[in-house]
Chain A
Amino acid sequence: MYEIRFHGRGGQGAVMAAQSLADAAVRSGFHAQAFPYFGAERRGAPVQAYARIDTKKVRTKSQVYNPDLLVIMDESLSELADIAAGLKPDGRVVMNTTKRPEEVDLGKGVDAVCGTVDASALALEVLKMPVVNTSMLGALARVWDVVPLESIVEAIEDRFGEKLGTRAGILNGEAARTAYDSTIIGRTLGRKEYGKLAEWAPAWNEIPIGNSLRSETRDGVAVGPASSSQNLTGRWKWSTPRYDREKCIRCLRCWWSCPDSAVIRLDDDYMRWDMDHCKGCGICADICPVNAIEMVQGAHTW
Chain B
Amino acid sequence: MNRMSSMKDVPREDMLIHGHGACPGCGYAATAKNIAKMLGPNTVVYVPASCLVVFGALYPISSWKIPYFFTAFENTGAVTAGIKAALRRRGVDATVVGMAGDGGTFDIGLQALSGAAERNEDVIYVCLDNEAYMNTGIQRSSATPFGAWTTTTPVGQVVKGNRYFKKDIARIVADHNVPYVATLSVAHFTDFVRKVQKAKETKGFRFLHCLTPCIPGWRIEPSKGVSINRLAVDTGMWTLYEVVNGVPKVTYKPKTIVPVTEYLKLQGRFKHMSEEDILTLQGWLCEKWRAHYGEEPGSPPCPVPVHEEVLAHDGDPLYGI
Interface of A toward B, CB cutoff 8 Å: 10-11, 40-45, 200, 211, 213, 218, 221-233, 236-237, 251-253, 255-262, 265, 269, 274, 276-277, 279-283, 285-287, 295
Contacts and interface: CB of A to CB of B under 8 A. Distances in A.
Given A223-B60, A261-B33, A286-B227, A42 B66 contact: no
A274 B225 CA distance: 19
A42 B55 contact: yes
Nearest to A200: B60
Contacts of A230: 19, 61
A224 B7 contact: no
B22 A260 contact: yes
B98 interface: no
B64 interface: yes
Contacts of B23: 10-11, 42-44
8 contacts: A42-B55, A43-B216, A218-B60, A228-B19, A228-B61, A233-B19, A280-B24, A281-B26
A295 B223 contact: yes
A225 B61 CA distance: 7
Contacts of B20: 228, 231, 233, 260
Given A200-B60, A223-B60, A258 B223 contact: no
A279 B20 CA distance: 11
Contacts of B110: none
Contacts of B63: 226, 228
B61 A42 contact: no
Contact of A213 (B12, B24, B60): B60
A228 to B, nearest CB: 3
Nearest to B34: A256
Contacts, number: 147
Contacts of A224: 60, 62
Interface string B213-241: 00110000111111100000000000000
B61 A223 contact: yes
A74 to B, nearest CB: 14
Contacts of A225: 62, 64-68
Given A260-B29, A281-B225, A287-B226, A43 B24 contact: yes
A282 B225 CA distance: 9
Contacts of B189: 253, 256
A252 B61 contact: no
A287 B61 CA distance: 31
Contact of B17 (A226, A237, A265): A226
A150 to B, nearest CB: 31
Nearest to A264: B12
A261 B224 CA distance: 17
A227 B30 contact: no
Top 10 nearest A-B pairs (CB, nearest first) are A228-B19, A282-B223, A281-B25, A259-B29, A281-B24, A231-B19, A223-B60, A279-B24, A277-B18, A43-B23
A237 to B, nearest CB: 7
Contacts of B24: 43-44, 236-237, 259-260, 279-281
